[in-house]
Every structure is written in C-alpha cells, then in structure tokens.
Amino acid sequence: MRALLVALLAVTASTSVYAADPGPPDVVPPADAVPPADHPPEETEPPVDAPPAPAPDPGINTAWYLGPPRWFFSTLVDLGIIYLRPRLAFGYGKPHASWIGVEANPIISTDTIGAWSGIRLAAPWLELRLGARLMHSLGRTPLQPQAAYTREDLEIRTGSSATYEAIEAELSGSWDVGGGVNVFGEGALTYVTGVPAGMYVFEEVTKVVVDPPWIVRLRAGWTFALAFNGALSMGPVIEAVDLPNRGKLVLRAGIVGRLKLYDDLEVRMTIAPAFGSPDSLGVRGADAFILGVRYRWATGWSPKALPPKPPAAQ
C-alpha cells in the first residue's frame, strides 16, 4: 500500500512540472502580414526611359540668345567664291542676337575693295545699321551720263578708277509667323558722294548705275522650312531699287536659301536677277548665284558653354 502511494505522488509531481514549463512561445504574425504565395512573384517590367529631349530649335542664331548680356568682341565672316566680308564688332548685349555697338568690315571682291564702319542696334526682330562706306573699283571708272547702260559700258576706262563714299541707313527685320514660315524685310537709304561732278558711277553694293546722290532700296520675302527639322529653308524674294535722279527703277526677284549647320556656321544662297531695269548689266546688275558660308564667333560664347535650354516640364 505504501509503495502504491509513493508511485502516485511521483506521477503527480512530474505532471505539475511539465505543466509549469510553457515551452517555446507561439509566433503571432502582424495584422498586415501577407501570407506567403504558392509561387514566386512575377518580375516587374523595367521602367520605360523618358522620351529624348527635342532637338534644338533650328531658328536663326538660336543659342546666341542664351547667357547674360555682356561686353564682347565678335566677328561675322561671309565667304563666297568671289567675295570676302569679315565683320568686326565691339558692343554690349548678346552678340549676333540682341546688342548695341560699333562695327567695321572690309569689303573685298575680285574687282572692288572697300570698307564700312558704323553703329549697329540689334533687337530680337529688328536691326538698325547707320554708317558709311568707302569704295574703290579696281577696273571701272566714273561713267558719262546716258539713258541706259550695258555690261560693256561698265568696263570702258575713261580715266582713273572710280572712288566714292556712301553714307547709308538700313533697317531690317525677320519674323517667325509659325508653321515653319519666316517673313523678312529690309529698307535702306544710301547717299553717294565723292563722284566727279556731272558723272555717274556703278554702286558696287546695290549693283546699280547711280546719278548721285540718292539710292532707295526695299527688299521683302519669306522662307519655308523644308528639311532637317527646319535647318534647311528657302523661299522667294523681291527687291526694288529706286534711282531718283535718273528717274529709273530696278526690279529684282528670285530665291534665297539657308542651311544651318550649327549655331555658328551656315550656308547661304541668293539668286535674284533683274527682271525690270533701264540697264542691261547681266550678272553685274543682279544678286545672282551668290553662294557662300557664314561663320559667327564672339568672346565668352561657345556651343558647349551655352547649350540650348531643356524643354519645360509639362
């Protein structure tokens, strides 16, 4: 009996000890836990790259409008088959875009040498030049007055080579009217002096025979963007040159073109023969088949230093 009682006490003690030991605690998942999926999650597609930024605007002198106004030196060089016209300028503003200053340029061709100097005021859409030219012909002399002239008349030498001065004012403008169309216009008033009294002279820039002193010139036209995101443009041009003292009017018409390679380099073309004139001067009396390159440079500017502005966020 005693042995049975001892065995019962031993069983009771062991049961109490087991109940007092709770074992490892149960892990309770948080309320927002996601139960494990039966299969691995699908791989997400890589993000789509943002569309590339649009190409820089091919408009005239695009990047020259960037950067702050400043004092600068600049050059603009027109180089063609039969002419060279480097322009040197010093001024304040944004060179080749919006500025005011002084400018000088030699004029060199196969039959003429000369120089122009004056002031220039350039705004985004308008440009005003006031200055004077000194011109010296290498092969032509002053002309005896007559009703009309031929190209051969220009080559007759009757004395010393023609030398004269021309004081001029020129106002020009260019406007983008949308749709790849650019409208431009130009008006100039020239006062020719230094010609022997009673003589006429062939004016080398306006390409007319003038009875001094006055020449009035008007030009207008427009260009269309044709290719290369508008960098190639072409369109019609018409020009009228009034010779008040001769009582004559010279009319020219044709096409102008421009291929912008970079902001500082472009190819330019003008084909504008005379279709109404008292004189028969051929290519001497026309802006015909003028093809050349134009290069721009200025202190404090480079395409890398002044990149086009990024597109605005939508």
User: In the 3-class helix/strand/coil scheme, how is 258-303 assigned residue by residue?
Assistant: EEEEECCEEEEEEEECEEECCCECHHHHCEEEEEEEEEEEECCCCC
Measured in Å, how far apart are the chain's first and last C-alpha atoms?
98
- Residue 184's DSSP bridge partners are 174, 221
Q: Is 3 helix (H, G, I), strand (E, B) or coil?
A: helix
Q: What is the model's pTM?
A: 0.75
How large is the average pLDDT for residues 107-115?
Answer: 89
Task: Name every residue whose Cβ is closer than 8 Å to that of residue 159 and which is 6 or more positions away in sequence.
Answer: 141, 142
- Domain positions in the chain are 126-298
Q: For the chain, give the percent of residues with pLDDT over 90.
A: 60
Q: Is 312 helix (H, G, I), strand (E, B) or coil?
A: coil
The mean pLDDT value of the chain amounts to 82
Question: Range with the lowest mean pLDDT among 15-19, 104-108, 252-256, 279-283?
Answer: 15-19
Per-residue pLDDT at 290 exceeds 90: no
For the record, the structure tokens of 283 come out as 């290519």
Kindly report the backbone phi and psi dihedral angles of residue 244, in degrees, each rounded to the nearest multiple of 5, phi listed first: -60, -45
Residues 243-255 have pLDDT tens digits of 999 999 999 999 9
Nearest partner of 184 among 227, 133, 238, 220, judged by Cα:
220
Are the CB atoms for 19 and 12 separated by under 8 Å?
A: no
